[in-house]
Structure 1
């Protein structure tokens, strides 16, 4: 309506005015002169925002997957932007994270400098340009995102020497995708019979398909690196000694698990229906003490920064069964919740979230937990410390001990710190020195100030540090945090908002991992949709109730959902072998 009025007004003005040098328009004595209006500017072009399409259906080199993605742009074969989860880039395209850099076929960029957004329950990165420059064909087919890279020919193989003797370099005539599917490593290459024979000599068990070379059982054994000019894929961890990898067996027939099944361990897959939604459930557990097993956190030794494949966490602990554990920051590779092992806080609880806690008798306790810490300087006013050994970064004061690792490096832009030893401040670290990294002594506590919070003390000051948890859960030898708490005392107690979870997270349908106890003992569950639609948190709680659980805690889920039996992966949340921060395992007494 406004544009029509402007057009009418302009037309009226043009009828009353013409050029000043037209003699016919000279003003007459009885007619006042007309003052011309300024010419109206050209109308602005219409701004059309490129559509944003989101989905879950994905095909990569013919492999059907479910993973969040977001497409920006009108062209269905060339996006302006393509956002994919970091976990998907690593597990299904061959991207590598190394020393804070993201690498792929010779291109390297600091992760901290890459734009990020949330995709479902994952961290998403924009990679349209990365994929296009390597030659990946990107297109939308209805609601399915398709990524295709023509298979490369394997031209030769070279073994490393000396310190790189476990390295195998594959020389290619083009780039190739590297996918970790369950326990198997899929390479988008074509090989000859002679090359496959050589791979068998290296005990890699190759299977050549039309456009993909599969190395059985190598998804979590080998590290990979892609290089360009010339094109190469590097496999690290190839060892000719020891037994050959074997194709995954049915867990019930695996000799390493059969003895525990005879003792009463339950390992089963079943389908439960919640409302009208069928859910596939992998359930394992039982009366652990009678079986001869106990439950333990699965953690990395000596440091809290970093991620591992779940078999890499389970095998050193000799875990018979393992599942993924609590939440973590996938970019920073740091824990986001309670993690306590044998009486030591590796990471403190956050946001009063749900935890499971237990001691030597394996009697599990469930509830919500907060850790309160205080710092008193020279006997004066007490100051609160927000978090302990945590990757949850907020303004205020946080505390780090040697359980965090030998070196602390800043987790936010501007930080300062104090080192406390023997009840006194021994050193102060300004922003420049803390960026270089700070050694945490075995008897030291590092108090870190973030977001402009002033340091509460100076070198030489007497400092007393104290801590207590809000319930006896924090006094148990082992604690693992997750959330939300699903069940307690036979009742569904789901209240994600009270535990600091966002509405978007609470509304998600995703693969789930659960630890609980109830009829028959202690249980570990992994749940996925049996007909395409994954469970919500409420549906997960209702399924746990159907299965006889009295107490249940939701753990990290989505692509992190993983079950490992006797060192072999038997279930993944989204089909790939993910890296996780910690886990839970059943180990022999």
Structure 2
């Protein structure tokens, strides 16, 4: 039986955490007393991680940083200290300690600086938090230049959340409502407000605001007395955010503006303000590594959310990667890890390559594989571990999985072990049958090429070879491909026709994911780019220009649209959880050396 344990959180904490300890082999923090992944806030259950640990002669509670932002309205400000986070919550800005789990995946903040007089109770894996009672005592509206402002005066600081859907904005307060404030709908119009409705649900008050157009609210908290200031302005630009999360990894949020070439009148926006959320990773930082990750560690079949994928591989951060066949759930671009090809390229498209020294190379990748028989007859292979189906001879290694299931009808399956053809037989219909892939060889799959099948009878000796263009790709153990290539040496080199992307892919707008290098050796940008306040999505040329403005020198477009996802510390940074599409692969960032697979079964 779980016995409830109660504690009142009081006092402040010093900022003595040394950033280098985040990566050192020494323990990051004292052993936790309890920890869990469920938080109950004033009776409302949330998914959120927490740690309660011994801290000398007292106990401390640490909550997952993004949970604090979303659940109580904690404002995380620019911070250049890896072991601390600058925050603001009904107070002047202050620093609070940050700690991490092991291996480092999630970041937690000490809540004592903002949680005075909170009451806590631990039951199993659930932390129950009870905040002091608060009352919304006054609500004042005023018109501002080109907008509106609402001041909510509270009897005490209290958790709050913002929910927005289109032109409807809900401010949810963990507070009762003073009798002097009427409930119901107020249709007094403002510059940006069509109507305002007040609802009281006991110890929760909901303010529903109907705005004249879709716009992001500016929200600020003040103390003495506790107030929430909500401002609505069509031209509001959220402040840039730059947080050092761990040494070598920065979390950034910014607006990047590009001129509007179609502006003809004063009503047309002079510029497009694109929302960009990114991570800047220093691959030369000791203990910080990057590697490809994919949905199914046992093979190439499968898709999942990037969040599930990253947490499965225990990555601290991740961005979605290359293209894939959504129906077959198979990759259609290159994935290479630790000199092992998990999947090969199909077309000549952009790719990024890197090593553990922090050296990075971005260009268009030309990849060729062929096998040569004892009679020195070369046979060019069409695909390697790919879900992209075309006429030719494809190769499937154990990296694909333990078995191969035919992707098309009437395939001829050729088993190769120790550089010798062992068997040859005709496959069943697409999706039927499972053919084992030998651990000491591979499977050749012939599609509509009887003349090549005739050269590969049982007992024929063969050997394989691989070539690259540019040859620099051959120097790197890790590769991930997507495309198109956007920037090379600071110049826009976008060419969708060369990389065989079909119209209107080259001109249409979409949410974008991209990876880029900067002038600083080893620095890479993992960026997601989204729509302007007017709903204009970035095109590929605009994506290239945005990245240039962010300091990119070489840049590669990744899979975008519904796949665009950026993950950090257990949270998705760029979209709501209900709007995340499954992906096949991604790029994961680790604060440790990830496990290395076996290098066998490669040419």
TM-score by length of 2: 0.56
Aligned counterparts of 1:206 and 1:414: Cα–Cα separation in 2: 57
Contact persistence 2:517–2:555 (CA under 8 A): yes
In structure 1, the partner of 2:447 is 450
State the SS of the aligned residue for 1:517: strand
State the SS of the aligned residue for 1:390: coil
In structure 1, the partner of 2:555 is 552
In structure 1, the partner of 2:95 is none
> Root-mean-square deviation (CA), in Å?
3.0
In structure 1, the partner of 2:501 is 501
- Alignment equivalent of 2:572, drawn from 569, 573, 579: 569
2:559 aligned with 1:543: no
Aligned counterparts of 1:328 and 1:217: Cα–Cα separation in 2: 31
Aligned counterparts of 1:416 and 1:215: Cα–Cα separation in 2: 53
- Residues 527-558 of structure 1 show CA distances to partners (whole Å, capped at 9, x for unaligned) of 00122111000000000001110011000111
In structure 2, the partner of 1:288 is 283
Aligned counterparts of 1:453 and 1:567: Cα–Cα separation in 2: 51
Aligned counterparts of 2:577 and 2:66: Cα–Cα separation in 1: 20
Question: Which sits farther off after the overlay, 509-518 or 270-279?
Answer: 270-279
Deviation of 1:274 after TM superposition, in Å, equals: 1.7
2:343 aligned with 1:524: no
- Residues 18-47 of structure 1 show CA distances to partners (whole Å, capped at 9, x for unaligned) of xxxxxxxxxxxxxxxxxxxxxxxxxxxxxx
Aligned counterparts of 1:397 and 1:293: Cα–Cα separation in 2: 39
- Alignment equivalent of 1:248, drawn from 67, 78, 89: 67
- Residues 195-230 of structure 1 show CA distances to partners (whole Å, capped at 9, x for unaligned) of xxxxxxx9866999xxxx997469xxxxxxxxxxxx
Contact persistence 1:216–1:246 (CA under 8 A): no
After superposition, where does 1:134-153 map in structure 2 within 5 Å?
A: none
In structure 1, the partner of 2:475 is 475
After superposition, where does 1:292-371 map in structure 2 within 5 Å?
A: 292-299=287-294, 300-371=296-367
Q: Which consecutive unaligned segments of at least 5 residues does structure 1 have?
A: 1-201, 219-242
- Residues 82-135 of structure 1 show CA distances to partners (whole Å, capped at 9, x for unaligned) of xxxxxxxxxxxxxxxxxxxxxxxxxxxxxxxxxxxxxxxxxxxxxxxxxxxxxx
> For the structure 1 residues 415 and 206, does the alpha-carbon distance in structure 2 shift closer, same or farther, using more than 3 Å as the test?
farther
2:374 aligned with 1:378: yes
2:584 aligned with 1:581: yes
In structure 1, the partner of 2:247 is 263
Deviation of 1:282 after TM superposition, in Å, equals: 0.5
- Give the number of equivalent residue pairs: 361
Aligned counterparts of 2:66 and 2:347: Cα–Cα separation in 1: 43
In structure 1, the partner of 2:418 is 422
After superposition, where does 1:120-269 map in structure 2 within 5 Å?
A: 216=47, 248-250=67-69, 255-256=99-100, 257=107, 261=245, 263=247, 265-269=249-253
> For the structure 1 residues 290 and 457, does the alpha-carbon distance in structure 2 shift closer, same or farther, using more than 3 Å as the test?
closer
> For the structure 1 residues 296 and 373, does the alpha-carbon distance in structure 2 shift closer, same or farther, using more than 3 Å as the test?
same
Aligned counterparts of 1:262 and 1:318: Cα–Cα separation in 2: 16
State the SS of the aligned residue for 2:505: helix
State the SS of the aligned residue for 2:567: strand
Aligned counterparts of 2:487 and 2:413: Cα–Cα separation in 1: 40
Deviation of 1:495 after TM superposition, in Å, equals: 0.7
Deviation of 1:290 after TM superposition, in Å, equals: 3.2
Aligned counterparts of 2:424 and 2:463: Cα–Cα separation in 1: 17
Contact persistence 1:350–1:370 (CA under 8 A): no
In structure 1, the partner of 2:438 is 441
Aligned counterparts of 2:449 and 2:281: Cα–Cα separation in 1: 51
> For the structure 1 residues 270 and 290, does the alpha-carbon distance in structure 2 shift closer, same or farther, using more than 3 Å as the test?
same
Contact persistence 2:410–2:428 (CA under 8 A): no
Question: Which sits farther off after the overlay, 377-386 or 486-495?
Answer: 377-386
In structure 1, the partner of 2:385 is 389
In structure 2, the partner of 1:272 is 256
Q: Which consecutive unaligned segments of at least 5 residues does structure 2 have?
A: 1-35, 50-61, 70-75, 78-84, 86-97, 101-106, 110-242, 260-270, 593-603
Contact persistence 2:37–2:47 (CA under 8 A): no
Question: Which sits farther off after the overlay, 576-585 or 453-462?
Answer: 453-462
Contact persistence 1:366–1:553 (CA under 8 A): yes
Contact persistence 2:384–2:394 (CA under 8 A): yes
- Residues 410-449 of structure 1 show CA distances to partners (whole Å, capped at 9, x for unaligned) of 1123311101112211011212398411100111121111
Deviation of 1:350 after TM superposition, in Å, equals: 1.9
> For the structure 1 residues 338 and 458, does the alpha-carbon distance in structure 2 shift closer, same or farther, using more than 3 Å as the test?
same
> For the structure 1 residues 566 and 418, does the alpha-carbon distance in structure 2 shift closer, same or farther, using more than 3 Å as the test?
same
- Residues 218-276 of structure 1 show CA distances to partners (whole Å, capped at 9, x for unaligned) of 9xxxxxxxxxxxxxxxxxxxxxxxx9999734477674448953635321111011222
Task: List structure 1 runs of 4+ shifted beyond 6 angstroms.
Answer: 202-208, 243-247
In structure 1, the partner of 2:465 is 466
TM-score by length of 1: 0.57
Contact persistence 1:317–1:587 (CA under 8 A): no
Question: Which sits farther off after the overlay, 405-414 or 543-552?
Answer: 405-414
Contact persistence 2:423–2:458 (CA under 8 A): yes
- Alignment equivalent of 2:399, drawn from 374, 397, 403: 403
> Which one has a larger percent helix, Structure 1 or Structure 2?
1
State the SS of the aligned residue for 1:449: strand
> Which one has a larger percent strand, Structure 1 or Structure 2?
2
In structure 2, the partner of 1:412 is 408
Deviation of 1:307 after TM superposition, in Å, equals: 0.6
Deviation of 1:322 after TM superposition, in Å, equals: 1.0
In structure 2, the partner of 1:141 is none
Contact persistence 2:283–2:357 (CA under 8 A): no
